[in-house]
């Protein structure tokens, strides 16, 4: 990704004026749920409207937070954060950007009727200090405030009022309003036309406050539901960039002239949860052998992830010992260390724990959710069998798999986690490692409970100082790592495909940011 | 004639009602329709309310009646797999299958009839023997293997033709057609060839058999005795009588094409109704399966009735004899 | 004292068979001989699969991912332990084909048997009893016939999948297949048997049996059934080829035998996904075996139909 970014930067300096008419034709699996940035919590809709609208702070192509409509921020009190807004920004309609727009937009997003209210938790009010300064009043210290703000876009107050659109709408309930098919933002592109489920056309915003890295004058976005048709359209030259590109067509695409696959490890970490409750769901021995850490270590040693990466994932995954990707805050290299592949050691550990002949258990996997999920599980089952165990492979469509996971009707089960949109290790702690209770522990495996991890998790939730916070997060994650509540596998690859003439960075969050894209000859 | 028509229509209605009954039973007894419509956290009262709204507390025959009424307007509810209206899904996919089937049917006629005539006129030539052998192999070769072979040769090795998808399609009203672009036409070639092969061998054999029998009849001998040219005999007299049963069989086999399209669409990832049906079968998506069943049955029934009528119109003997039993 | 009674020997059944018209026809027709040899080879391979296979493809502990995607042994990169190469989960193709052949044949035979039993029963019933029962059976048969077999098989399959919980799908797959294919193919048996039954019913020996108090069932089973077995055999043979093809098609479409217990159709489906990666052996070898099987069965069936057809003698 960084390489792509550097290349585009170099190209940008070469073609500094770059005034040629470059159209990028872009196809995805489905259309956006409308153009209102506050109407639905859907990451694809969100990133699409990001081309038209902007937040106070945004992610760059390497997923680092940088100033956007706000140039700086300061924590005045634990519950008051002051943002200094950027001067000289205008909306597509010509209106000036100012503090009142920020106030209206943020309050619209956290309105009780807004679907986005959960994405900016803890915002009580927005106070206007002057035309270019606002104070955000919070319920309590919110260390992840900027992470949350990257998702909340700013609309023009006057435009909303003139079009009766100040009240938020809920696109998932089918509600529509003026903002569904019309847009007026500060972003790098303007809306030219929209035909729902057919074609969205964006044109470059020449009055954008930022210096464009892209050289696009026009973006034509077409939803193409069928994987095969989308790929065919790319191959025939009708489309320049597709997302997603089905993995089974990777070889076809690579073999064809003029197009290429963009595959890089993404944020989504794939791991196996381990049932540590009192009994197995479907075992053949008394009690639950998985409660013994030696048995869990045996499972870890039995699996050869390098081979799975090479054979099943075609070298495109990133084998890891960590539950979070390197791009996620809270990651340290120490977390990446894996227990080595050692089937003999696995057998020895099993014997030591009292199971020299192994035991039976369920290996639960989805077959249509993660990249090559079924293939990975088949290979793992074979490896576990070679270590003397008797895994019973259960692969099923995602609805059924996750229903079983929810009800803890699983023994060793597959789960993928990207920590989006927070990009912070806290997401793993609260959802997957903390003891279940309240809003914590939705996916924590049955029977796992580490008091120190819980303690640290609650502290991390409210600690505002980044250094102290990270230190606590790392400590908690490393503790959990030794507990082997989860067996980490790899970060799965993203999968886009593009014509060779298209340069676009593929950030680990799988979101297409065309304001970094370039079309070359 | 009119009586025949009315009888056939009544028969068709019965068949459709029977099919609708099967579809209804599928809806009613496979899976819990309420579950697919409420959130997992719904309370018992909420479920009961939905049950009442869906009319599930009514006696079965009332439910069946309402089902038929809604089906007649094309409303089959939402797909269990992706919550979109089934009628929309089918409408989106219908043009793809229709174009594929039409081209394949046309190909089978355009190629099958001449080849059949050829093998009938020259029964012992080398080309005839070769065609006979190939047709036997053709019937034994699983259709999907043929498709895979076509892909291997023309797509992987030669790289001439695309191996999947419809290419670029143009929207004409609500119909999306692949006929208007070069990539669309190229994408049509391999799938329609694969689909037409079975039909082709059938028609070839049929034309051959019929023509040979016709050539042996008395009136052809008389024509020869009268000194008519071979050309006139073969194409003017023999062919006309050969074609009547061929056309009827062809019409009846059209249904088979629609069914075999399921396989073709799977092999070539052709975004048609057949591919949709397979996904539904694989997932247990009852609304889509039921809707496909009813739609396809309707098509079959219409085709069969039309063919029977056409047969009655074309064959003068039938008009004299009166009604003819169903095929 | 010498025994001067004439010893009459009736030729044994086997000798009678050898001297019959059918056998003579068989010995003359090269297609019949070749196809039967081929069938025997394939049947034997399927029957002795556990002995002939080098690997039990259902035992996952025998799969070593390191050996995945190996080409056939005679190609560079191949391994003599895996004669025809391996797939992406390191399953030996040669062994998988043997076991897959076995599955294909089991499903084929079982579904033909089911179709025959159902069809013969209904045909006997309809032909013998007549009236409304006969009318109803024939109506159903007509409707069934107007739908392509593959569609009916898919429908039965879909219903079974909807009714069974997902964990049971893999285990029940083979039974669902047999049921689906069997239920689509009974019509031909029913019609033929019905026709013969209606003819036989008029004959004197049947009326005599009736007078003697033999039950209807007894008449059907002991008197009528043996007379209709000839045509039934022809239908069954041709049907076997179709049943194997239908099973392969259903498995190829993904609604037949699962990947953990692959039949030939399943193997072809799995191999199809790797066609563009250059891993051609996973698709080609199972296809060749499948085509050989169906071709042989069809040839034999064709010959049998001509041999037993009284009009062509």
Partner residue facing A385 (CB), from C61, C260, C273: C61
pLDDT in tens, C238-282: 889 889 999 999 998 888 888 778 899 999 988 887 776 678 888
Distance CA A498, CA A233 (A): 11
SS3 content of chain B, % helix, strand, coil (to 5): 75, 0, 25
Instruction: Tell me which residues of chain C, numbers 184 to 223, contact chain A at a CB-CB cutoff of 8 Å.
Output: none
pLDDT in tens, A16-64: 433 457 899 999 988 888 899 998 877 888 899 999 999 999 998 888 8
Write down the ipTM of this complex: 0.75
Q: Tell me the Cα Rg of chain A.
A: 24
Residue C311 confidence (pLDDT) above 60 = no
Token code pair at residue B167: 């290419």
Which residues sit opposite A67 in a β-bridge? A57
What are the residues whose beta carbons fall under 8 Å from the beta carbon of B97, sequence distance 6 or more? B258, B261, B265, B270, B272, B273, B274
How high is the pLDDT of residue B34?
58
CB contact under 8 A, B271 and A229: yes
Backbone angles phi, psi at A255, to 5 degrees: -75, -20
Partner residue facing B168 (CB), from A226, A227, A236: A236
Q: Does B171 touch chain A (CB under 8 A)?
A: yes
Tell me what the mean pLDDT of segment A249-271 comes to. Answer: 87
Q: Does B309 touch chain C (CB under 8 A)?
A: no
Tell me what the mean pLDDT of segment B58-66 comes to. Answer: 77
Instruction: Tell me which residues of chain C, numbers 28 to 67, contact chain B at a CB-CB cutoff of 8 Å.
Output: none
Distance CA A24, CA A28 (A): 13
Distance CA C298, CA C305 (A): 10
Backbone angles phi, psi at A500, to 5 degrees: -65, -20
Q: What confidence tier does B321 reach under pLDDT thresholds 50, 70, 90?
A: very low
pLDDT in tens, A379-414: 999 999 999 999 988 888 776 788 788 888 899 999
Residue B313 confidence (pLDDT) above 80 = no
Tell me what the mean pLDDT of segment B49-66 comes to. Answer: 72
Specify the pairing of strand A486-493 against strand A133-138: unpaired
How high is the pLDDT of residue A7?
47
Q: Give the distance, in angstroms, between the CA of residue B104 and the centroid of all CA atoms in the same chain.
A: 10
- Mean predicted lDDT score pLDDT of chain A: 88
- Mean predicted lDDT score pLDDT of chain B: 77
Question: Higher model confidence: residue A209 or residue A421?
Answer: A209
CB contact under 8 A, B278 and C294: no
pLDDT in tens, C182-198: 988 898 888 888 888 88
| Residues from chain A contacting residue C273 (CB–CB below 8 Å) | 248
CB contact under 8 A, A233 and B271: no
Residue C19 confidence (pLDDT) above 80 = no
pLDDT in tens, C38-75: 889 999 999 898 888 888 878 888 888 888 888 888 88
Looking at chain B, the whole-number percentage of residues with pLDDT higher than 70 is 80
How high is the pLDDT of residue B225?
77
Q: What confidence tier does B55 reach under pLDDT thresholds 50, 70, 90?
A: low
Distance CA B312, CA B45 (A): 59
Min distance B256 CA to chain C CA atoms (Å): 5
Q: Does C288 touch chain B (CB under 8 A)?
A: no
How high is the pLDDT of residue A297?
96
Look at A36-40, A197-201, A360-364, C158-162 and tell me which has the smallest mean pLDDT: C158-162
Map out the domains of chain C with their CATH numbers.
28-312 (1.10.3720.10)
Residue B324 confidence (pLDDT) above 60 = no
How high is the pLDDT of residue C139?
81
CB A148 within 8 A of CB A121: yes
- Tell me whether the omega of the peptide bond preceding residue A244 falls within 30 degrees of 0, making it cis: yes
Look at A147-151, A280-284, C101-105 and tell me which has the smallest mean pLDDT: A280-284
How high is the pLDDT of residue B303?
83
pLDDT in tens, A188-223: 999 998 887 778 999 999 999 999 999 999 999 988
pLDDT in tens, B206-252: 888 777 777 777 777 777 777 777 766 666 666 777 777 777 777 77
How high is the pLDDT of residue C201?
76
Min distance B134 CA to chain A CA atoms (Å): 31
CB A381 within 8 A of CB C60: yes
Residue A271 confidence (pLDDT) above 90 = yes
| Residues from chain A contacting residue B167 (CB–CB below 8 Å) | 232-233, 236
Q: Does B31 touch chain A (CB under 8 A)?
A: no
How high is the pLDDT of residue C118?
92
Counted across chains A and B, CB pairs separated by less than 8 A come out at: 39
- State whether the Cα torsion A257-A260-A261-A264 is positive or negative: positive
How high is the pLDDT of residue A326?
92
Question: Higher model confidence: residue C265 or residue C207?
Answer: C265
pLDDT in tens, A240-256: 999 888 777 787 788 78
| Residues from chain A contacting residue C261 (CB–CB below 8 Å) | none
Look at A374-383, A473-482, B228-237, C295-304 and tell me which has the smallest mean pLDDT: B228-237
Distance CA B286, CA B299 (A): 20
Q: Does A364 touch chain C (CB under 8 A)?
A: no
Q: Give the distance, in angstroms, between the CA of residue C185 and the centroid of all CA atoms in the same chain.
A: 11
pLDDT in tens, B184-197: 788 889 899 988 88
The 3-state DSSP class for residue A62 equals coil
Q: What confidence tier does B14 reach under pLDDT thresholds 50, 70, 90?
A: confident
């Amino acid at each position: 990704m960084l390489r792509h970014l550097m290349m585009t930067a170099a190209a940008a300096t070469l073609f500094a004026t770059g005034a040629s008419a470059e159209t990028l034709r872009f196809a995805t699996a489905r259309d956006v749920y409308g153009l209102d940035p506050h109407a639905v919590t859907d990451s694809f809709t969100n990133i699409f409207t990001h081309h038209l609208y902007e937040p106070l702070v945004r992610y760059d192509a390497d997923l680092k937070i940088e100033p956007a409509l706000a140039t700086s921020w300061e924590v005045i009190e634990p519950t008051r954060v002051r943002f200094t807004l950027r001067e000289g920004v205008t909306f597509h309609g010509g209106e000036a950007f100012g503090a009142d727009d920020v106030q209206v937009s943020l309050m619209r997003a956290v309105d009780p009727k807004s679907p986005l209210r959960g994405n900016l938790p803890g915002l009580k009010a927005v106070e206007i200090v002057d035309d270019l300064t606002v104070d955000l009043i919070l319920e309590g210290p919110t260390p992840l405030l900027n992470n949350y703000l990257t998702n909340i876009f700013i609309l023009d107050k006057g435009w909303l009022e003139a079009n009766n659109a100040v009240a938020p709408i809920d696109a998932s309930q089918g509600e529509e309003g003026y903002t569904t098919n019309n847009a007026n933002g500060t972003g790098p592109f303007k809306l030219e036309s929209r035909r729902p489920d057919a074609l969205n056309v964006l044109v470059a915003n020449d009055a954008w406050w930022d210096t464009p890295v892209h050289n696009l004058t026009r973006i034509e976005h077409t939803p193409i539901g069928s994987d095969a048709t989308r790929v065919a359209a790319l191959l025939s030259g009708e489309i320049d960039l597709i997302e997603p590109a089905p993995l089974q067509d990777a070889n076809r695409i690579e073999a064809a002239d003029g197009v290429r696959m963009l595959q890089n490890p993404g944020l989504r970490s794939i791991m196996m949860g381990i049932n540590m409750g009192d009994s197995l769901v479907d075992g053949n021995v008394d009690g639950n052998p998985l409660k013994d850490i030696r048995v869990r270590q045996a499972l870890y040693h039995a699996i050869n992830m390098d081979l799975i990466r090479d054979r099943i994932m075609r070298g495109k995954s990133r084998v890891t010992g960590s539950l979070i990707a390197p791009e996620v805050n809270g990651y340290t290299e120490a977390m990446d260390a894996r227990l080595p592949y050692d089937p003999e050691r696995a057998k020895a550990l099993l014997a030591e724990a009292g199971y020299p002949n192994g035991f039976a258990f369920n290996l639960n996997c989805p077959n249509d959710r993660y990249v090559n999920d079924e293939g990975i599980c088949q290979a793992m089952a074979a490896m576990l069998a070679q270590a003397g165990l008797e895994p019973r492979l259960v692969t099923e469509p995602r609805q059924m798999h996750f229903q079983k996971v929810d009800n803890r009707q699983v023994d060793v089960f597959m789960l993928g986690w990207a920590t989006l949109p927070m990009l912070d290790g806290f997401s793993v702690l609260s959802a997957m490692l903390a003891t279940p209770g309240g809003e914590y522990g939705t996916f924590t495996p049955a029977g796992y409970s580490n008091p120190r991890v819980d303690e640290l998790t609650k502290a991390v939730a409210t600690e505002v100082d980044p250094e102290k916070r990270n230190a606590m997060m790392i400590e908690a994650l490393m503790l959990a790592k030794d507990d082997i509540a989860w067996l980490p596998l790899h970060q799965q690859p993203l999968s886009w495909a593009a014509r060779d003439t298209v340069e676009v960075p593929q950030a680990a969050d799988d979101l297409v940011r065309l304001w970094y894209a370039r079309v070359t000859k | 004639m009119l009586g025949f028509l009315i009888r056939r229509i009544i028969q068709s209605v019965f068949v459709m009602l029977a099919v609708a009954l099967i579809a209804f039973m599928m809806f009613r007894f496979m899976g819990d329709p309420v579950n697919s419509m409420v959130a997992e956290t719904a309370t018992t009262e909420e479920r009961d309310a939905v049950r009442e709204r869906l009319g599930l507390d009514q006696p079965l025959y009332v439910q069946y009646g309402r089902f038929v009424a809604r089906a007649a307007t094309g409303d089959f509810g939402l797909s269990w797999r992706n919550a979109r209206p089934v009628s929309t899904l089918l409408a989106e996919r219908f043009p793809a299958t229709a174009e594929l089937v039409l081209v394949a049917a046309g190909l089978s006629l355009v190629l099958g009839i001449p080849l059949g005539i050829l093998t009938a006129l020259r029964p012992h030539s080398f080309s005839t023997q070769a065609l006979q052998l190939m047709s036997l192999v053709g019937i034994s070769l699983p259709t999907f293997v043929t498709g895979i072979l076509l892909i291997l040769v023309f797509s992987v090795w030669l790289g001439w033709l695309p191996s999947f998808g419809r290419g670029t399609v143009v929207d004409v009203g609500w119909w999306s057609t692949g006929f208007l672009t070069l990539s669309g036409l190229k994408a049509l070639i391999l799938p329609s060839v694969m689909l037409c092969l079975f039909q082709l061998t059938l028609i070839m054999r049929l034309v051959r058999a019929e023509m040979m029998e016709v050539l042996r009849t008395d009136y052809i001998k008389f024509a020869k005795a009268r000194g008519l040219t071979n050309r006139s005999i073969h194409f003017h007299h023999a062919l006309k009588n050969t074609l009547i049963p061929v056309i009827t069989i062809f019409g009846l086999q059209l249904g088979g094409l629609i069914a075999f399209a399921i396989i073709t669409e799977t092999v070539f990832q052709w975004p048609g109704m057949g591919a949709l049906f397979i996904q539904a079968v694989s997932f247990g998506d009852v609304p889509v399966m039921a809707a496909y069943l009813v739609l396809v049955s309707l098509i079959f029934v219409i085709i069969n009735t039309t063919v029977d009528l056409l047969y009655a119109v074309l064959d003068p003997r039938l008009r004299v004899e009166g009604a003819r039993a169903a095929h | 004292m010498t025994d001067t009674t004439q010893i009459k020997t009736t030729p044994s059944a086997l000798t009678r068979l050898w001297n019959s018209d059918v056998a003579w026809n068989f010995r003359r027709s090269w297609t019949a001989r070749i196809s039967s040899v081929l069938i025997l080879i394939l049947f034997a391979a399927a029957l002795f699969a556990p002995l002939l296979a080098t690997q039990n493809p259902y035992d996952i502990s025998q799969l070593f991912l390191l050996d995945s995607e190996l080409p056939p042994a005679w190609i560079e990169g191949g391994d003599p332990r895996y004669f025809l190469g391996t797939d992406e989960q390191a399953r030996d193709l040669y062994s998988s084909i043997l076991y897959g052949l076995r599955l294909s044949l089991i499903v084929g035979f079982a579904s033909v048997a089911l179709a025959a039993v159902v069809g013969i029963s209904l045909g006997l019933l309809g032909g013998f009893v007549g009236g409304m029962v006969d009318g109803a059976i024939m109506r159903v048969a007509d409707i069934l016939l107007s739908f392509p077999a593959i569609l009916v098989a898919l429908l039965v399959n879909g219903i079974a999948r909807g009714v069974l919980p997902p964990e049971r799908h893999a285990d029940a797959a083979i039974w669902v297949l047999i049921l689906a294919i069997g239920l689509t193919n009974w019509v031909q048996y029913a019609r033929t048997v019905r026709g013969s039954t209606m003819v036989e019913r008029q004959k004197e020996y049947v009326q005599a049996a009736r007078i003697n108090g033999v039950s209807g069932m007894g008449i059907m089973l002991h008197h009528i059934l043996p007379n209709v077995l000839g045509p039934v055999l022809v239908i069954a043979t041709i049907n076997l080829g179709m049943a194997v093809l239908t099973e392969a098609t259903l498995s190829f479409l993904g609604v037949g035998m699962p990947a953990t217990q692959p039949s030939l159709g399943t193997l072809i489906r799995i191999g199809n996904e790797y066609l563009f990666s250059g891993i051609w052996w996973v698709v080609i070898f199972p296809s060749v075996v499948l085509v050989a099987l169906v071709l042989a069965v069809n040839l034999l069936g064709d010959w049998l139909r001509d041999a037993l057809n009284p009009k062509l003698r």
